[in-house]
């Protein structure tokens, strides 16, 4: 069953994407460098590591990431110097700790040249030892990634790449100020396969200016032709109050909520016909891909990097704006590069904000993660992990779900809360029933 326009309009409201809980608007300055250092000193291993490389050659107007446009390659050297200082100051349980995942995100990690990329991996491997079967992944802009960089990444052990395509339509690309050659996408994926990489991902965005079903159909044909293993298909979030460069986008050219959902339904239908399975609310993977396997087995996890295959890895964030997720602590580093440099180089506070999770926060995080990843919450599992009577504890949340149940979006059973196939299109709305920290945060819309 597909959602009707009336249903979508009735539930189109601002809401979190739940890459964390509590969500960022609830975080405060009470979490500082000392709190983060204490959590890192006893971090469980193996861990996951995220490194933020903020630099880009162009300012794409749609972008919601933390990035800095720079044409000076020397800026990369200063950034790596600061990262080295941060790595040297890390107090971990051992000089070198076991790591199951290292991910470079941005920005554009391949903005760094060959020498800088090699230096970055040398720095990381001096503190983090990849275990057998570890995933080393990198986000790529195909237009700034050379064959030589792909060779270097493979030589340093990279097992997976994620290629930011967003669209292949020239009209759309011009409207979002993103130069791109489709041939480079194919070349990056071919090089990755030649090196034995797996889980190759393509990012697409729906809801961009001038996107129509006809135009998007061609984009889907283009990207299917390069044979990725996964797709991450994100809803464009127009939040110019957070990302001022988005104000340059012609809002009259943006699809409305009904047309926007039609684009996602088109993606879903096309990818299902091509043999991909839905994973979570916005990912797709081939059946033998480990992300699809994790989805079927109920072991999917969601964090700031999207959907991943392991939920048991503490996340150590490095670099400007990077977020660490360490058991009961979230901590985000300063998001502005100049301030981050001054803090790292001067030895002052680097953590801008964060939150210590209470027992109640951890309980609700578990429930919301189950909904976002598996579209169900098993009451007995939650009760066993957190020592609560689910129905009594969440009486108010369950009552607030009644309208969604009446509309066929959710089902309440004696042993579980289930998001229906129809409700999966509005899973964020279902999850919001269990969020007691919504407050006045300004979020993107749920449709």
Handedness of CA 20, 22, 28, 33 (dihedral sign): negative
**What is the per-residue pLDDT across 50-72, written as a single tens digit (0 to 9) for each?**
999 999 998 999 888 889 999 89
SS3 at position 343: helix
Residues 123 and 108: their CA atoms lie apart, in Å, by 18
pLDDT band at 305 (very low <50, low <70, confident <90, very high): confident
pLDDT band at 5 (very low <50, low <70, confident <90, very high): confident
Burial degree of 76 (CB within 10 A; 0-12, 13-18, 19+): buried
Q: What mean pLDDT is predicted for residues 266-293? A: 96
User: Rounded to whole angstroms, how far apart are CA atoms 139 and 262?
Assistant: 28
Q: What are the pLDDT digits (tens) for 162-197?
A: 999 999 999 999 999 998 888 889 999 999 999 999
Domain with CATH 3.30.750.200 in the chain: 26-318
Say how far apart CA 302 and CA 295 lie, in whole Å.
Answer: 11
Q: What percent of the chain is modeled with pLDDT above 90?
A: 83
pLDDT reported for residue 442? 66
Residue 257 has pLDDT above 80, yes or no: yes
Q: Which residue has the tokens 């609700």?
A: 364
Residue 306: its pLDDT value, please?
A: 81
Class at the top of the CATH hierarchy for domain 1-22+358-441: mainly alpha
CATH 3.30.750.200 matches 26-318 = yes
Residues 68-88 pLDDT 10s = 999 899 999 999 999 999 999
pLDDT tens across 369-394, in order? 999 999 999 999 999 999 999 999 99
State the Cα–Cα distance between residues 183 and 191, nearest whole angstrom.
Answer: 12
Burial 238-261 (b: 16+ CB within 10 A, else e): beeeebebbeebeeeebbebeebb
Given a cut of 80, is residue 106 above it in pLDDT? yes
Q: pTM above the 0.85 mark? A: yes
* Contact present, 58 and 178 (Cβ < 8 Å): yes
CATH 1.10.10.920 in the chain is located at 1-22+358-441
Q: CA-to-CA distance for 437 and 20, rounded, in angstroms?
A: 12
pLDDT at 312 > cutoff 90: no
Please tell me the predicted confidence (pLDDT) of residue 440: 56
Q: What is the pLDDT of residues 217-241, one digit of tens each?
A: 999 999 999 999 999 999 998 888 8
Strands 201-206 and 160-166: parallel
String of DSSP letters for 378-444: EHHHHHHHH---HHHHTHHHHHHTHHHHHTTSEEE-SSEEEE-TTGGGGHHHHHHTT-TT-TT----
Is the per-residue pLDDT at 441 higher than 80?
Answer: no
The predicted-structure confidence for 198-219, as pLDDT tens digits, reads as follows 999 999 999 999 999 999 999 9
Question: How many whole angstroms separate alpha carbon 257 and alpha carbon 141?
Answer: 28
Instruction: Please state, in angstroms and rounded to a whole number, the distance separating the CA atoms of residues 294 and 289.
Output: 9
Question: Per DSSP, what are the bridge partners of residue 323?
Answer: 332
How far apart are alpha carbons 107 and 56 in whole angstroms? 6
Q: Is the pLDDT of residue 141 over 60?
A: yes
Q: Closest Cα partner for 162 from 180, 142, 182?
A: 142
Quote the mean pLDDT of the chain.
Answer: 94
Helix, strand, coil tally for the chain in percent (to 5): 40, 20, 35
Whether the pLDDT of residue 29 is over 80: the answer is yes
| Lowest mean pLDDT segment, chosen from 229-233, 312-316, 342-346, 391-395 | 312-316
Q: For the chain, how many helices (H) and strands (E)?
A: 17, 19
Q: Return all residues near 101 (Cβ < 8 A) that are at least 6 apart.
A: 48, 49, 134, 135, 136, 137, 308, 310, 313
């Amino acid at each position: 069953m597909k959602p009707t326009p009336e249903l979508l309009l009735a539930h189109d409201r601002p809401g979190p994407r739940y890459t964390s809980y509590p969500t960022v608007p609830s975080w405060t300055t009470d979490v500082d460098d000392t709190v983060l250092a204490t959590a890192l000193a006893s971090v469980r291993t193996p861990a996951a590591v995220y490194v933020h490389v903020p630099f880009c050659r162009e300012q794409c107007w749609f972008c919601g990431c933390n990035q800095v446009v720079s044409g000076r390659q020397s800026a990369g050297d200063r950034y790596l110097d600061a990262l080295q200082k941060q790595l040297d100051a890390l107090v971990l349980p051992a000089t070198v700790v076991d790591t199951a995942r290292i991910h470079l995100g941005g920005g554009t990690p391949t903005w760094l040249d060959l020498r800088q990329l090699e230096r970055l991996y040398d720095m990381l491997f001096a503190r983090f030892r990849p275990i057998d079967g570890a995933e080393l992944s990198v986000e790529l802009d195909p237009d700034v990634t050379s064959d030589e960089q792909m060779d270097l990444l493979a030589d340093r052990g990279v097992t997976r790449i994620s290629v930011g395509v967003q669209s292949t339509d020239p009209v759309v690309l011009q409207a979002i100020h993103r130069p791109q050659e489709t041939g480079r996408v194919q070349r990056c994926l071919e090089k990755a396969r030649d090196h034995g990489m797996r889980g190759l991902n393509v990012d697409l965005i729906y809801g961009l200016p001038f996107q129509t079903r006809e135009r998007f159909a061609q984009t889907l044909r283009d990207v299917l032709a390069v044979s990725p293993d996964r797709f991450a298909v994100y809803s464009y979030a127009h939040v110019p109050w957070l990302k001022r460069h988005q104000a340059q986008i012609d809002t009259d050219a943006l699809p409305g909520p009904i047309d926007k959902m039609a684009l996602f339904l088109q993606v879903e239908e096309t990818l299902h016909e091509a043999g991909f399975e839905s994973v979570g609310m916005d990912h797709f993977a081939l059946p033998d891909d480990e992300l699809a396997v994790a989805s079927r087995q109920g072991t999917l996890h969601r964090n700031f990097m999207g959907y991943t295959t392991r939920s048991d890895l503490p996340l150590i964030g490095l670099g400007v704006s990077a977020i660490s997720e360490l058991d009961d602590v979230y901590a985000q580093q300063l998001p502005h590069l100049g301030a981050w440099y001054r803090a790292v180089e001067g030895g002052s506070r680097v953590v801008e904000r964060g939150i210590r999770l209470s027992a109640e926060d951890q309980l609700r995080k578990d429930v919301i993660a189950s909904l976002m990843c598996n579209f169900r919450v098993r009451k007995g599992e939650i009760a066993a992990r957190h020592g609560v009577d689910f129905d009594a504890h969440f009486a108010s949340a369950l009552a607030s779900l009644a309208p969604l149940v009446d509309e066929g979006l959710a089902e309440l059973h004696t042993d579980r809360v289930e998001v229906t196939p129809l409700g999966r299109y509005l899973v964020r709305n279902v999850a919001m029933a269990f969020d007691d920290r919504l407050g006045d945060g300004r979020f993107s819309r749920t449709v």
